[in-house]
Amino acid sequence: MTNLYRTKKVIMTKAEIAIAIKRLALEIVEKNHGTKDLAIIGIRTRGVFLAERLSAEIKKISKKTMPIGVLDITLYRDDFTSLSEMPVVKETQIPFVIDDKKIILVDDVLFTGRTIRAALDEIIDFGRPQSIQLAVLIDRGHRELPIQADFVAKTFKTALTEMISVNFQEIDNNDQVTLNDKVS
């Protein structure tokens, strides 16, 4: 049942990730003309760490602290009944009122777009934001839904069988993005 993967290539190093996050932060502040009404929401698991880092960078640029939230999209998945293992449900924490906020939704990899669809549905259940903008580290293509990111650090073409693995210090003990091959 478990698939094994072999690392084929390093796509982003630690330094490249740091620069990319800085650039994403700048673009977000620039496009929104500052940080007024901005709030940031990370999608579990690695979108959360990316969101925290982005928030720190934006604070460096603007000297302002934005509200930050965590989204667990498990209950909004559309493949719920076809999974052989039940995904563990974790808490969604949005400790601010999202009405009229400009939400920056953050995830590590943009792939089919289904996770983002679920996240959008869940955010809307919390209220009516002014806008939702999507920021991702990697866009690997293969979209199954008409969804695109507003802010992309790196676009990288992949084959469907390949896997992108984003590692963050906070959980994986290193910062790196790799391209992997399925072994079995």
Stretch near other proteins under the rule CB under 8 A, chosen from 17-25, 89-97, 106-114, 149-157: 89-97
How many CA atoms, within 13 angstroms, populate the side-chain half-sphere of residue 20? 22
Residues 98-127 as x/- pattern, contact with other proteins by CB under 8 A: -----------------------xx--xxx
Distance of alpha carbon 98 from alpha carbon 124, whole angstroms: 9
Angle at 149 between CA 98 and CA 42, to 5 degrees: 45
Q: Which two tokens stand for residue 103?
A: 């939400």
Nearer residue to other proteins within complex by CB, 84 or 174: 84
Least CB distance to other proteins at residue 46 (A): 19
Q: Which two tokens stand for residue 116?
A: 């983002």
Nearer residue to other proteins within complex by CB, 126 or 156: 126
Nearer residue to other proteins within complex by CB, 91 or 146: 91
Which run of H or of E encompasses 10? strand 5-12
Q: Does 82 bind other proteins (CB under 8 A)?
A: yes
Angle at 149 between CA 79 and CA 175, to 5 degrees: 85
How many residues interact with other proteins (rule CB under 8 A)? 24
Nearer residue to other proteins within complex by CB, 3 or 174: 3
Q: Which two tokens stand for residue 43?
A: 């999608």
Which run of H or of E encompasses 176? strand 176-182
Q: Does 76 bind other proteins (CB under 8 A)?
A: yes
Stretch near other proteins under the rule CB under 8 A, chosen from 5-13, 86-94, 133-141, 156-164: 86-94
Closest CA to 144 of 121, 107, 114: 114
Q: Does 80 bind other proteins (CB under 8 A)?
A: yes
* φ, ψ (nearest 5 deg) of residue 109: -125, 135
Q: Does 67 bind other proteins (CB under 8 A)?
A: no
Nearer residue to other proteins within complex by CB, 1 or 15: 1
Q: Which residues of the shown chain bind other proteins in the complex (CB under 8 A)?
A: 1, 3, 72, 75-77, 80-86, 88-93, 121-122, 125-127
